[in-house]
């Protein structure tokens, strides 16, 4: 998911969780205060929420680190071959890559299939020669070694 997608999901999830919490509190207070009895149904909501938090922290979505080894291999292959400098529709370490493109400047760009939001696109670039330089429409951030993440704004 991209940044804006994550923000929307976080907002919707937070709203749903807040409404669920409010309903649970009201029902629990009514059950314990009004009827003066205990029910195991009261404990179900906190158990489900805790299980979700544990599952969310254990099962992280795929990221650059999970795909790095395969991306290294492809980048080095593409820099050494004379075939067309484009590959499309790849799945690397759980990441969906829509396009891999070798540029004449000796860089290989990996475009994240989930990184297209409005007029921006993001992904990763293998730049063995020199560090890529930001411009008005392009931003780069060093990850490690010869790898950088990028965000391009398309006008």
Looking at the chain, how many residues does it have? 155
Terminal-to-terminal C-alpha distance of the chain: 22
**pLDDT tens digits, one per residue of 20-70:** 889 888 888 888 888 777 777 778 878 888 888 888 777 766 677 888 889
Structural domains in the chain (count) = 2
Task: Judge if 119 and 70 occupy the same domain.
Answer: yes
pLDDT higher than 90, residue 15:
yes
Least confident of 10-19, 56-65, 77-86, 124-133: 56-65
Tokens of 48: 């489900």
Task: Judge if 79 and 133 occupy the same domain.
Answer: yes
DSSP assigned state of 117? B
C-alpha to C-alpha distance for 154 and 122, rounded to whole angstroms: 11
pLDDT higher than 60, residue 2:
no
> Rg for the chain (alpha carbons), in Å?
23
Task: Judge if 131 and 93 occupy the same domain.
Answer: yes
pLDDT (mean) for 138-151 = 89
Residue 52: which domain range? 3-58
Tell which of 15, 37, 58 closes a domain.
Answer: 58
Helices assigned H by DSSP within the chain: 3-29, 41-58, 64-80
Tell which of 36, 58, 80 closes a domain.
Answer: 58
- Residue 48: per-residue pLDDT: 85
Task: Judge if 50 and 83 occupy the same domain.
Answer: no
Task: Judge if 80 and 141 occupy the same domain.
Answer: yes
- Residue 84: per-residue pLDDT: 65
Closest Cα partner for 136 from 155, 121, 122?
A: 155
Task: Judge if 149 and 100 occupy the same domain.
Answer: yes
44 CB contacts (<8 Å, ≥6 apart)? none
Q: CA separation (Å) from 28 to 21, 22, 43, 45, 151?
A: 10, 10, 9, 10, 48
Task: Judge if 8 and 53 occupy the same domain.
Answer: yes
104 CB contacts (<8 Å, ≥6 apart)? none
Where residue 33 falls (left for φ over 0; alpha for ψ -120 to 50; beta otherwise) is alpha
**pLDDT tens digits, one per residue of 66-106:** 888 898 998 888 888 766 678 888 888 878 888 899 888 88
Within 10 angstroms of residue 100's Cβ, the number of other Cβ atoms is 24
pLDDT (mean) for 124-133 = 88
C-alpha to C-alpha distance for 21 and 154, rounded to whole angstroms: 42
- 147 bridge partner residues: 126, 144
Task: Judge if 86 and 144 occupy the same domain.
Answer: yes
Task: Judge if 54 and 68 occupy the same domain.
Answer: no
């Amino acid at each position: 998911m991209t940044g804006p997608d994550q923000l929307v999901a976080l907002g919707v999830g937070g709203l749903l969780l807040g409404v669920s919490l409010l309903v649970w509190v009201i029902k629990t207070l009514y059950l314990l205060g009004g009827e003066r009895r205990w029910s195991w149904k009261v404990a179900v909501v906190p158990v489900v929420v805790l299980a979700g938090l544990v599952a969310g922290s254990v099962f992280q979505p795929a990221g650059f680190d999970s795909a790095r080894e395969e991306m290294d291999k492809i980048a080095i292959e593409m820099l050494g071959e004379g075939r067309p400098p484009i590959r499309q529709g790849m799945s690397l370490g759980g990441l969906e890559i829509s396009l891999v493109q070798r540029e004449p400047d000796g860089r290989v760009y990996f475009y994240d299939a989930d990184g297209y939001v409005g007029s921006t696109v993001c992904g990763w670039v293998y730049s063995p020669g020199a560090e890529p330089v930001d411009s008005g429409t392009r931003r780069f951030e060093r990850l490690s070694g010869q790898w950088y993440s990028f965000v391009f704004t398309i006008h």
